[in-house]
Amino acid sequence: MLKKYLKNVRDFHPLIHNITNYVTVNDVANILLACGASPIMADEPEEAEEITSICNGLNINIGTLNSRTIPAMLAAGKKAEELGHVLLLDPVGAGASRLRTDTALNLINNIQFDVIRGNISEIKALAKCGGHTKGVDADAKDEIQKDNLEQAISFIQTFAKETGSIIAVTGAIDIVADKDTAYVIQNGRAEMGKITGTGCQLSGLITAFLAANQQHSLEAAATAVTVMGIAGEIGWSYMQTGDGNSTYRNRIIDAVYHMDGDTLEKMAKIRKIATKEEA
Amino acid sequence: MLKKYLKNVRDFHPLIHNITNYVTVNDVANILLACGASPIMADEPEEAEEITSICNGLNINIGTLNSRTIPAMLAAGKKAEELGHVLLLDPVGAGASRLRTDTALNLINNIQFDVIRGNISEIKALAKCGGHTKGVDADAKDEIQKDNLEQAISFIQTFAKETGSIIAVTGAIDIVADKDTAYVIQNGRAEMGKITGTGCQLSGLITAFLAANQQHSLEAAATAVTVMGIAGEIGWSYMQTGDGNSTYRNRIIDAVYHMDGDTLEKMAKIRKIATKEEA
Amino acid sequence: MLKKYLKNVRDFHPLIHNITNYVTVNDVANILLACGASPIMADEPEEAEEITSICNGLNINIGTLNSRTIPAMLAAGKKAEELGHVLLLDPVGAGASRLRTDTALNLINNIQFDVIRGNISEIKALAKCGGHTKGVDADAKDEIQKDNLEQAISFIQTFAKETGSIIAVTGAIDIVADKDTAYVIQNGRAEMGKITGTGCQLSGLITAFLAANQQHSLEAAATAVTVMGIAGEIGWSYMQTGDGNSTYRNRIIDAVYHMDGDTLEKMAKIRKIATKEEA
């Protein structure tokens, strides 16, 4: 299954419009190319709708948002929704400033996103659950661990129900859920948190996976999260003496570039959680 | 000959002003340093003319253009022209939105560029020849192959005549031509298309080569295109198991850094095409 | 001593707000993570004060400044000063345009910076000493060498006295001084100048070191400069055949990631210069 979703991205070559921060934008472009998609970046309101029209998916990331790019996010988002394109929101730093929290909420209220992906503190800030956003990182107090996993899934599914979106929360344990079904993914390595932008890259990846697998959005999102985690593990296996976080960044993208369907199936630590409807 | 043009860049250390997109800007800066030039980036209208005045060449790249940077492009371009500086336009995504096409055409109409460099779809969009820009990549339908090479050269030389610029079209086969003479370059590797920004980097490189070889603009542009292609081949030769597009990006810039004049002459697959005047 | 300042950064994990250029921003973020700090980037006036409030230090870098980000620099700077946060100014390109020189001087006149870090040409431009800024690089005519070291220290300490800031001037020989005491650091390699952004990265690093060592600002700044130089030496020791400036960039950040306190003490080429008060 995972294998098929990856193959579809490589066969379909989705074109992804990214309105994203200037910190990690180059890595987002390269990971999209690595998985078989094509990136285009455009954040000027005058062209945002037109650019999104020629694409298959729109990845909105609010890191380094500004007064010019916020209207571009709204305009492109509405246009993408109108055209039935895949839509993802990455609420970078929601909870860290009122502008970020309000912008994310305003986008959610006006646009139907297929996926909202963030760390647990950002998602808590949006769900008004009192998260402790520490800049753009999750606060240790909020982190999902084995002992609060059930509670975390329940919280995430409630937010999925409220928003009508798939919610992808990444951290030590990743959860990808809609209101009915949840996937728990335990791939990846802690060292990924010492690289800027692995979250932003994952948001690009998820958008591409959904654009190429539109009938299976939840599974496609869960697959993209798994691909990223396994790329983190494979990339790490190539680390040599002296290599640190900057080289690791390259190795993870390289691992997505070489990701093989069978390896993906074999290394995946993903499980589906019994849910209300299915229990 | 190629050797001399490279040496001149390293001896002259041209300072290049780049008004460029935020996606690939870091790689543009590093490839300029790698070839022996120095980069400066400045896109605020208030300082664009002054910054360009202290430089030897201006590289205008319209990727992620916006309402603030467009006037900076125009102002800097006019000032650079007035001062007799080298001027290059990279019309990233022309054809993908009206804003990009119009901005590129407006720049071409108001400023005399020494070089316009793009993929074939972008150049077709500007020549109003019905290109099929797919985001920022060339459409497969437009690509220059052996069987349409003659036709492509003719089209490019017509556009060179109309604009008075050297036109550099890069893809599987690269063409660098003015109205009278064309160079066909067949260095490089297909995998370069899986890295974001090799085109943007090449535009920086061409600007530096022209700035250091002002009496031989066409040859300098063709040399820069050849250097980039050979760097792609040399960089590939250093790829190790597990290396993918992100590492390849570094290895290409590294190869420019170490580019040796003799190697350049030896590996170059460049030929001059008989033209009207010379035939 | 150096060892302790490094340990404090790793133990305290300072959160650093960066208003910085889009050329080198990704490397600044990764080097902050490498040293144990966390980065956040935000340059929109509407959120600049709020973001800075949750941080421990503010790193203002005027490269690619614009009409929107300049007010954000001023607002965030004033707020950080009010809150007693660490404040650093990196006057990239001061002397290259009136906008950059005026903006840097305006920031210095309105905000009390703990540290001003630049190359010698930039610092001379701000001190109105007739520096020869060549774009964003120091002019060879201005460079600090053994034979003008004493004179350079005297000039830097005069500027430190005028501004009330620690002045960090980096180049072949680095000087970190306040009005009373100067450190001379001779780590690093000339090849670091062939990478874009080693200066910007160092400014991020210094901000983190001061934020974690607030009672020892001068020593913390000198330590950060030493760490960067040694990382340049260690990174170079891992260079393999074919590696150039792009890979070197990664290896330097990697070396900061792995920097060990004992190695730091052993490799440091830092000396304290006898000064007025202490002489």
- Mind listing the pLDDT tens digit for each residue in C35-47? 999 999 999 999 9
> Looking at residues C230-258, what average pLDDT do you find?
98
Q: Is the pLDDT of residue A189 over 70?
A: yes
Residues of chain C contacting B, Cβ within 8 Å:
21-24, 26-27, 63-68, 93, 96-100, 134-137, 194-197, 241-247, 249-250
Distance, in angstroms, between C171 CA and closest chain A CA?
24
- Sign for the CA dihedral angle at A31, A37, A38, A41 comes to negative
Q: Please judge whether A41 and B27 are an interchain contact, meaning their C-beta atoms are less than 8 angstroms apart.
A: no
- Cα B39 → chain centroid: 15
- Other beta carbons less than 10 A from residue C106's beta carbon: 13
Tokens of C212: 């974690």
Sheet order of strands, B86-90 included: B38-41, B15-19, B57-61, B86-90, B115-118, B166-169, B174-177, B182-185, B270-273
Task: Identify all chain B residues contacting C100, using CB atoms and an 8 Å cutoff.
Answer: 47
Distance, in angstroms, between A97 CA and closest chain C CA?
6
Nearest CA in chain C to A195: C30
> Looking at residues A75-88, what average pLDDT do you find?
98
pLDDT at B279: 42
Q: Is the pLDDT of residue B278 over 60?
A: no
Give DSSP secondary structure letters for chain B. -HHHHHHHHHHH--EEEEE--SSSHHHHHHHHHHHT-EEEE---HHHHHHHHHTSSEEEEE-TT--TTHHHHHHHHHHHHHHTT-EEEEE-TTBTTBHHHHHHHHHHHHHS--SEEEE-HHHHHHHTTS----BTTB--GGG---GGGHHHHHHHHHHHHHHHTSEEEE-SSSEEEE-SS-EEEE--S-GGGGGSTTHHHHHHHHHHHHHHT-TT-HHHHHHHHHHHHHHHHHHHHHT--TT--HHHHHHHHHHHHHT--HHHHHHH--EEEEP-TTT-
Distance, in angstroms, between B239 CA and closest chain C CA?
10
DSSP C140: G
**Alpha carbon distance A113, A172 (integer Å):** 25
Model confidence at A143, in pLDDT bands (50, 70, 90)? confident
Q: Which segment of A250-264, B15-29, B264-278 scores lowest on mean pLDDT?
A: B264-278
Nearest Cα to A179, choosing from A163, A201, A190?
A163
How much is the mean pLDDT over chain B? 95
DSSP C134: B
Task: Identify all chain A residues contacting B247, using CB atoms and an 8 Å cutoff.
Answer: 250-251, 254
Chain A / chain B CB contacts < 8 angstroms: 108
Crossing angle (nearest 10°) for helices A69-82 and A45-53: 30
pLDDT at A75: 98
SS3 C26: helix
**Alpha carbon distance C106, A243 (integer Å):** 41
**Alpha carbon distance B51, A14 (integer Å):** 39
Q: Please judge whether A64 and C51 are an interchain contact, meaning their C-beta atoms are less than 8 angstroms apart.
A: no
Tens-place pLDDT, residues C137-186: 777 777 888 889 999 999 999 999 999 999 999 999 999 999 999 999 99
Task: Identify all chain B residues contacting C27, using CB atoms and an 8 Å cutoff.
Answer: 26
Where do the DSSP E strands lie in chain A? 15-19, 38-41, 57-61, 86-90, 115-118, 166-169, 174-177, 182-185, 270-273
How much is the mean pLDDT over chain A? 95
State the pTM of this model. Answer: 0.96
> Looking at residues A22-42, what average pLDDT do you find?
98
Task: Identify all chain B residues contacting C250, using CB atoms and an 8 Å cutoff.
Answer: 250
One-letter amino acid for residue C179 of the chain: K
User: Which residues 6+ apart lie within 8 Å of C29 measured at CB?
Assistant: A23, A24, A196, A197, C18, C39, C41, C204
Tens-place pLDDT, residues C170-228: 999 999 999 999 999 999 999 999 999 999 999 999 999 999 999 999 999 999 999 99
Largest CA distance in chain B: 51
pLDDT at C279: 42
Task: Identify all chain C residues contacting A134, using CB atoms and an 8 Å cutoff.
Answer: 15, 38, 54
